[in-house]
Structure 1
Amino acid sequence: MERARDGMNDAHIIIIGTGWAGISAAHSLLEQGVPPHLITMLERAPHPGGRAFSFADEKRGLTLDNGQHVLLGCCDQFARLLSQLDIRDAYRLQPLLDIPVFCDGTWGRLSSKRLAGALHLLPGLLTYAHLSPLERVRLLRVAPSILRPNVAALDSISFGAWLRQNGQTDRAIGRLWDLVGTAVLNGHADEVSAALAAESFRMGVVSGWQQARLGLFTRPLGDLATEAITKLQGLGVEILFNTAVTELQIRNARVTGVRLRGGDMFAAETVVAAVPHDALLRMLPSRWRDDDDFAKLQSLSWSPILNAFVLYDRPVMRQDVFASMELGGMFVFNRAALLGLSQYAGRWLSVSISAAHSHRGSEADELARKVQSALAAALPEARAAQIQTCKLVWQPHATFLARPGSWSARANPTTSVQGLLVAGDWTNTGWPASLEGAVRSGAAAVEARLEPKLSLTS
């Protein structure tokens, strides 16, 4: 498997992982003029997509995603990648942000207007039914800091502590900031960095009505990843599935290739490790795990997401999506309607519960009953309907947990090993863990390949 090594464009490049970070890296290499036959993608699973894949429900034959992902209008690089790979009809954006919210038996609404900048949120927040008039006015105290967050100063404290410093009550935090923030950051307000939370709200919510629109996928995630990989293969990129990398080969502080399960060696002068942070640590020779660039990754931990796919015998839901304060906060999607499956529209729902640590010890039957009860509380039609299927899908390693101080723990694309680049939604993209962050990380790794690292440590 040796490749020619007579210059940058003749050096063989390995990309470990076929998630969206790896897909983005491969596409970016092609954009930079790297011949496709010099690019090899290695994937340990039998399918692409990383942590955003699909599978079939054996009982009903319906295609389930391992987690319900969404986009915002600000996710421009993911949208660009889909366009350049000619992947069509992947999602649709709401005309304006509009999310019904169920809480304590009543409905409210998070919505925006076509107004400039952060003003697009003002009418909706000042009429948000789940906050008192005083709590709505106090929201304005947070606005200046979110418009220009001081990342260095805010990373040391939790989002919840910072919100309280800015006059937000626990009720306002739970009914607004935590409801939205947990869906974005997969961590509750008292668990996550105020820096990343404020920056995420700035980019995705307050920067304008177009950026804040919710994007809902209209095709299974696995189909999108498969189509992207097929396009790359058609362009000449080599992609090997069921091929696990067990160790990175490093000599004299320079990557020389990878060792595969079974002992085979695969030589390369550049390796893009588009894998989770803990997988990268396992691939490193033990001598390198204490290196400054990699040791900090040990402080990153995981946060789980619980997903439930519920099929009723009749339509119970009319809207595309709504949020509920039940079960610590959940988002409910009219999955069949979004996918265009008219026979199941309003009957087949997808429920996503982020930062689901508190539910990890519960039995599956108990969790299913809680999900069904939460849906029945919000949807009157569900109370008389019969449930035909309730499938729970855990993502124990859904995203990294953006704890206070985690900003500096996220890796840069370049490392102290020459030729070893890292990508993934957990890297230092400035974004929360998301498909957009993954795509940006892959492009950033390839861009860094053209810029020599200023200083290397061995």
Structure 2
Amino acid sequence: MAQSPIVSERRRTALVLGGGLAGISAACALGDAGSQVTLLERRGFLGGRAFSFPDAESGWDVDNGQHVFLGCCSEYVGLLRRLGVLDQTSLQDHLSIPIIEGGRTGHLWSAPLPPPLHLAPAFMRYPHLGLMDKLRLAYGMHKVRWTNRAKNREALQQENFLSWLRRHRQTQRIIDAFWNLITLPTLNSPAEHVTADMGLMVFQEGLLRDRHSADIGYARVGLTALVEDAALAAIGEQGGEVRFQTPVLAIEMEGDAVAGIRTSEGLLQADAYVSALPFDTLLEMLPAQTSATCFFQGATALRWAPIVGVHVWLDRWVTDLEVVAFLDSEIQWLFNKSLIQGRPKDEGQYLCISLSGAWQYADVPNEELERRFVEELRRLFPAARDAQVTRVLVVKQRQATFIPDPASDAGRLPATTPVSNLFLAGDWTDTGWPATMESAVRSGNAAARAVDGWLENAKGASLAQALEG
């Protein structure tokens, strides 16, 4: 029978499906609000699509992809603070990114000035654009800052960001040397594949909101090590539990409510259910009649975009740069994992090459990618030409993030659903943010608030019925 809150002093219960950041944040928030939470995770570890794994050959914990957060990621930072692990991350005291083309290095950096003037010194000195393009870029940034996304949401959802940029006098050179430099890694797609609304959001929130909003942060340990033990402790302290190796087999319904979650352990029941599953997995778990409704069919509009990481270990240090972007190389962004994690130089150096929107690499054999990118490292860094490569590891995430294209707006479902006791979380839901760690945490917090409100309303209705009886 479908479960519903009853008038008693018993503790409210919630089942959270999925142990990624969305599920972790939902579970912690629900526990803090007084619910007894059980989190189900199909694998033997937490993290979802932001996890790490031990690589025996190198001796490192390897992230499934290079994840960063920005100074504007307030709810992700809040979760790390809630878990007591913020000190295991580092955050720039101001934005500073070296950008290299043809051996010439420019910098995107934030000056101690109020926005948008904090970027002006960097733009004036940026060597990869000529004077006229710098003036056009300044005009484009002005238009970005003052575009009212809320007022023009429908139109901005229908137009792609490339079209918007061209309408506002941005040349292909500016798009290549600046706009896509940021759009591609943050949205995992270039400007032509994303909505103008989402492209504008990235620059309004990430670069223009204040001078620290684009400061770059990283975990100084593996992503799983960063959150797993702390999340288990936080959920356990509230009387909840995490069940590993417990995949969801089906979401079973009775009427317009969830009756329970079918697992290998049987049917698990609770007052409320939060799905923090990927959009395609959610549709597979729902009964066919439910997933075929207009509400849930919206999620079929979402499509996946891949990310590829090429991890390279060398017997010596070849660069002191912590992070660097390239304009004239297949290497989009390079992260110095040895420096980020504070490892001594006598261990050699571990570099991570991050390739976003990586459709062109997803089906290339790993051996070919290893060869190409080691050669490219040696071309870009003279010190690498005499270094011995001790290990190369290619990690492909074919389903890394959804593509925020014009069709995606219909697929970003809200936290509440037509199923009375089913709530949604996940970076793909309607958070207003792209598919990032920040979006995942925001979605979990939003789902927890929705559950808490629903449980309180249902309790009040049940109490009224009991009093009337």
TM-score range, shorter chain: over 0.9
The residue that corresponds to 1:115 in the other structure is: 113
Partners of 2:3 and 2:258 within 8 A in 1: no
Whole-Å Cα distance in 1 between the matches of residues 317 and 86 of structure 2?
28
The residue that corresponds to 2:426 in the other structure is: 424
Whole-Å Cα distance in 2 between the matches of residues 344 and 411 of structure 1?
50
| Deviation by residue 1:303-358 (Cα, 9 ceiling, x = unmatched) | 10000111111110102111113555511111011112214677111111100001
Q: Secondary structure of the residue that 2:212 maps to in structure 1? A: helix
Report whether the alignment pairs 1:31 with 2:32. Answer: yes
Larger Rg: 2
Whole-Å Cα distance in 2 between the matches of residues 425 and 15 of structure 1?
15
The residue that corresponds to 2:238 in the other structure is: 235
Partners of 1:96 and 1:112 within 8 A in 2: yes
Q: Larger deviation: 409-418 or 372-381? A: 372-381
Q: Larger deviation: 339-348 or 437-446? A: 339-348
Q: Secondary structure of the residue that 2:100 maps to in structure 1? A: strand
Whole-Å Cα distance in 1 between the matches of residues 283 and 330 of structure 2?
33
The residue that corresponds to 2:102 in the other structure is: 104
The 3 A distance-change label for structure 1 pair 89 and 340 is same
| Deviation by residue 1:361-385 (Cα, 9 ceiling, x = unmatched) | 3221221122123322332211221
Q: TM-score, normalised by structure 2?
A: 0.91
Structure 2, gaps ≥5 residues long: 458-469
The 3 A distance-change label for structure 1 pair 410 and 108 is same
AA aligned opposite 1:43: E
Whole-Å Cα distance in 2 between the matches of residues 290 and 327 of structure 1?
45
Whole-Å Cα distance in 2 between the matches of residues 366 and 22 of structure 1?
37
The 3 A distance-change label for structure 1 pair 320 and 344 is farther
Report whether the alignment pairs 1:21 with 2:19. Answer: no
- Pairwise mapping of residues 56-135 of structure 1 onto structure 2 (< 5 A)? 56-135=54-133
Q: Secondary structure of the residue that 2:242 maps to in structure 1? A: strand
AA aligned opposite 1:81: L
Whole-Å Cα distance in 2 between the matches of residues 85 and 3 of structure 1?
31
4+ residue runs of structure 1 moved beyond 3 angstroms?
2-5, 7-11, 326-329, 343-346, 450-454
1:258 aligned residue (261, 273, 280)? 261
Structural RMSD (CA)? 2.1
Structure 1, gaps ≥5 residues long: none
Whole-Å Cα distance in 2 between the matches of residues 56 and 210 of structure 1?
33
Q: Secondary structure of the residue that 1:318 maps to in structure 2? A: coil
Whole-Å Cα distance in 2 between the matches of residues 180 and 401 of structure 1?
15
Partners of 1:39 and 1:237 within 8 A in 2: yes
Q: Secondary structure of the residue that 2:249 maps to in structure 1? A: strand
Whole-Å Cα distance in 2 between the matches of residues 391 and 370 of structure 1?
13
Q: Larger deviation: 46-55 or 320-329? A: 320-329
Partners of 1:326 and 1:374 within 8 A in 2: no
1:281 deviates by: 0.7
1:450 deviates by: 3.7
The 3 A distance-change label for structure 1 pair 162 and 329 is farther
- Pairwise mapping of residues 209-288 of structure 1 onto structure 2 (< 5 A)? 209-231=211-233, 232-260=235-263, 262=264, 264-288=266-290
1:40 aligned residue (34, 38, 41)? 38
1:175 deviates by: 1.4
Partners of 1:158 and 1:191 within 8 A in 2: yes
Partners of 2:313 and 2:351 within 8 A in 1: yes
Whole-Å Cα distance in 1 between the matches of residues 161 and 378 of structure 2?
32
Q: Secondary structure of the residue that 1:152 maps to in structure 2? A: helix
Whole-Å Cα distance in 1 between the matches of residues 53 and 328 of structure 2?
27
Whole-Å Cα distance in 1 between the matches of residues 63 and 54 of structure 2?
9
The residue that corresponds to 2:180 in the other structure is: 178
1:427 deviates by: 0.7
Percent of residue pairs identical: 35
Q: Secondary structure of the residue that 2:363 maps to in structure 1? A: coil
AA aligned opposite 1:89: D
Q: Larger deviation: 208-217 or 277-286? A: 208-217
The residue that corresponds to 1:385 in the other structure is: 387
Partners of 1:49 and 1:222 within 8 A in 2: yes
The residue that corresponds to 1:350 in the other structure is: 352
Partners of 1:17 and 1:50 within 8 A in 2: yes
Q: Larger deviation: 192-201 or 117-126? A: 117-126
Partners of 1:92 and 1:216 within 8 A in 2: yes
The 3 A distance-change label for structure 1 pair 345 and 194 is farther
Whole-Å Cα distance in 2 between the matches of residues 62 and 348 of structure 1?
9
